Amino acid sequence: MNVNKSYQPKLILLCFLPSNILLLTNTFNYPETSITDDNYDAVLSYLNQTEPVTLQGLQLETCDMQTLLSEVNK
């Protein structure tokens, strides 16, 4: 199966964003739906500057590109 390169970023986002957004929303008491996939990077950057200790203590998920691509190609 060939993977459309323009589709890969969306797959990567879907890999970890929903759970990370929920974790950030709950940890920092943000209103529901205030953190989205569109502003996630900006929020993460802001929290890294303002709450680095708390942010470092969270178990934010990351994606391994090789694992992700091997799953897509199955």
CB-count burial class (<10 Å; 0-12, 13-18, 19+) for 13: middle
- pTM of the prediction? 0.68
Q: Does pLDDT of 11 surpass 50? A: no
- Percent over 70 (pLDDT), the chain: 68
According to the model, what pLDDT value does residue 14 have? 55
Residue 23 has pLDDT above 70, yes or no: yes
- Residue ranges of the domains in the chain? 16-72
* CA-to-CA dists, residue 29 to 1, 21, 45, 54, angstroms: 42, 12, 17, 13
Mean pLDDT, residues 41-67 taken together? 88
3-state DSSP helix/strand/coil % of the chain, to nearest 5: 60, 0, 40
Q: 10 Å Cβ neighbour count for 68?
A: 17
pLDDT band at 42 (very low <50, low <70, confident <90, very high): very high
